[in-house]
Amino acid sequence: MARIIGVDPGLTRCGIGIVTAGASRRVTFEHVEVLRSSAETPLPERIHRIGASIERLLDGEKPTGIALERVFAQDNVASVMGVAQISGVVMYLAEARGIPVALYTPNEVKAQVTGYGAADKAQVTTMVTRLLGLAEPPKPADAADALALAITHAWHLARGGAAVRMERFGRQAAVPGGETPAQRAWREAESKLGRRRGARS
Amino acid sequence: MARIIGVDPGLTRCGIGIVTAGASRRVTFEHVEVLRSSAETPLPERIHRIGASIERLLDGEKPTGIALERVFAQDNVASVMGVAQISGVVMYLAEARGIPVALYTPNEVKAQVTGYGAADKAQVTTMVTRLLGLAEPPKPADAADALALAITHAWHLARGGAAVRMERFGRQAAVPGGETPAQRAWREAESKLGRRRGARS
């Protein structure tokens, strides 16, 4: 049984989502939360506040793997430094405990859970809510993103852990082995809604 | 007695320099080294390798303070993510031990040790070698930069810990209280060399 902690790293808000999964592609919701620190707090203290919570989670939840968002320098310059600093702490703490860390780009995660690499935040939240059978959508977006990361990694492991190379995955791209669970669920959700979405029609 | 560890953060090379200082501006060399990780090693393992060495240094050297280079997103995009990730780990480990972390921009450090905010790496190395009375210049540049960070913070503490605001410090800028030890040493070094330097003449 895989127990995956997804981490959407950040200084102001750091999303944490935990799912479990067996050999099938079925994923089970376990936990979601958003760690926060105030911009008025000195930087080393902010980093420690978020990091200490992650350290407690790793020791308490004993995950079999971490799914962490891969950060790029070309993202929003104002927040990317904090994102990179927290991601460094997450990798350090995980590696110190022998917990493997998988890195996924935002587009890889979107492509997996919505079937569409350029999906917006609302689409990701909708799919995460549906895939995990949640009564309400997880909020804020960082919480949904963390669960989406965990789901992405759980599916990756269910596929046998083959390398994920979906960075340029677009809505026309074929998925080896046919529809992903997300694509199937999305198609069903669309039929149910009874309307066509411009971006995907 | 202040015992300062200067850290020039990086994934490929992370400079570490340790100095001690009393109430005067005299600084004493204690230790210098460069931590390294290979670009072929997976990222979480690289971060852990550097971070674990820093953790051992903090516990073994028991510094009274850390001087860490402040990173900006506008620096070299290829290396800035690794620099930010390591700096996050350094802040996390220091804060967890109650060791205060001071952040300095590269220009603040250059202005302090050479008297010139736009000094080049060779000038920083020359001044660090001279200020610490080293028999040989510390190499590579990351080692000299780490010592320069530690010296900058030692002087900051010797001045009573007043806020350092030297980001726009230029060669024409006046230093409150006259010459810094670096400026005096630099002037003496220049006289000794018996030649004028284009950039500073």
Alpha carbon B73 to its chain centroid, in Å, reads: 19
Candidate list B8, B55, B108, B145, residue with the active-site label = B8
Residue A84 and residue B89: Cβ atoms within 8 Å? no
Structure tokens at A58: 């790793």
Mean predicted lDDT score pLDDT of chain B: 84
**B142 belongs to an annotated ligand binding site:** yes
Place of tokens 């003449």: B201
Residue B77 and residue A73: Cβ atoms within 8 Å? yes
Candidate list A55, A108, A142, A145, residue with the active-site label = A142
Structure tokens at B158: 């010797």
Candidate list B55, B108, B142, B145, residue with the active-site label = B142
Share of residues in chain A with pLDDT > 90 (%) = 68
Query: Which of A158-162, B111-115, B122-126, B130-134 has the weakest average pLDDT?
Result: A158-162
Q: A139-167 burial, b for 16+ CB within 10 Å, e for fewer?
A: eebbbbbbbbbbbbbbbbbbeeeeebebe
CB of B9 less than 8 A from some CB of A: no
| A61 neighbors A40 (Cβ within 8 angstroms) | no
CB of B99 less than 8 A from some CB of A: no
Place of tokens 């990361």: A149
SS (H, E, C) chain B: CEEEEEEECCCCEEEEEEEEECCCCCEEEEEEEEEECCCCCCHHHHHHHHHHHHHHHHHHHCCCEEEEECCCCCCCHHHHHHHHHHHHHHHHHHHHCCCCEEEECHHHHHHHHHCCCCCCHHHHHHHHHHHCCCCCCCCCHHHHHHHHHHHHHHHHHHCCCCCCCCCCCCCCCCCCCCCCHHHHHHHHHHHHHCCCCCCCC
* pLDDT at B185 > cutoff 90: no
| A140 neighbors A13 (Cβ within 8 angstroms) | yes
Residue B80 and residue A94: Cβ atoms within 8 Å? no
Longest dimension (CA), chain B: 50
Residue B44 and residue A86: Cβ atoms within 8 Å? no
Q: Hey, what amino acid is at A77?
A: V
* pLDDT at A182 > cutoff 70: no
Measured between beta carbons, the chain A residues lying within 8 angstroms of B74 are 77
Residue A48 and residue B96: Cβ atoms within 8 Å? yes
Distance from the Cα of A6 to chain B's closest Cα (Å) equals: 15
Task: Respond yes or no: is residue B120 known to be catalytic.
Answer: no
Annotated binding site of A for Mg(2+): 8, 69, 142
Whole-number pLDDT of residue B102: 97
**B145 belongs to an annotated ligand binding site:** no
pLDDT digits (tens, 9 = 90+) for B24-38: 779 999 999 999 999
Compute the CA torsion angle A16, A17, A22, A25 (nearest 10 deg).
-130
Nearest chain B alpha carbon to A48: B92
Q: A187-200 burial, b for 16+ CB within 10 Å, e for fewer?
A: eeeeeeeeeeeeee
> Up-side HSE of residue B113: CA atoms within 13 Å toward CB?
32
Q: Residue length, chain A?
A: 201
Distance from the Cα of A66 to chain B's closest Cα (Å) equals: 11
B129, B187, B190, B195, B201 from B198: Cα distances, Å: 21, 14, 12, 10, 5
Place of tokens 């790496």: B121
Compute the CA torsion angle B67, A85, B46, B90 (nearest 10 deg).
30
Whole-number pLDDT of residue A100: 97
Q: At what angle do helices A121-131 and A106-114 cross, to 10 degrees?
A: 50
Distance from the Cα of B101 to chain A's closest Cα (Å) equals: 7
pLDDT digits (tens, 9 = 90+) for B58-69: 999 999 999 999
Distance CA A26, CA B1 (A): 60
| B128 neighbors B140 (Cβ within 8 angstroms) | no
A31 burial (CB, 10 Å; 0-12 / 13-18 / 19+) is middle
**Among the listed residues A57, A169, A95, the one whose alpha carbon sits nearest the alpha carbon of residue B47:** A95
Can you list the domains of chain A with their CATH numbers?
Answer: 2-193 (3.30.420.10)
Nearest chain A alpha carbon to B43: A91
3-state helix, strand, coil in chain A (%, to 5): 45, 15, 40
pLDDT digits (tens, 9 = 90+) for B139-173: 999 999 999 999 999 999 988 874 443 333 333 23
**Which residue among A44, A84, A87 places its CB closest to the CB of B91?**
A44
Distance CA A123, CA A111 (A): 11
Q: Hey, what amino acid is at A153?
A: H
pLDDT digits (tens, 9 = 90+) for A14-65: 999 999 998 777 999 999 999 999 999 999 999 999 999 999 999 999 999 9
Q: Which of residues 103-132 of A touch B (CB under 8 A)?
A: 103
Is the omega angle on the peptide bond into residue A63 within 30 degrees of 0, that is, cis? no
**Which residue among B44, B88, B95 places its CB closest to the CB of A84?**
B88
* pLDDT at B109 > cutoff 50: yes
Distance from the Cα of A77 to chain B's closest Cα (Å) equals: 6
CB atoms within 10 A of CB B190: 14
Task: Respond yes or no: is residue B8 known to be catalytic.
Answer: yes
Q: Hey, what amino acid is at B189?
A: A
Whole-number pLDDT of residue A97: 98
Q: Sorting pLDDT into bands at 50, 70 and 90, what band is B72?
A: confident
Q: B36 - beta bridge partners?
A: B13
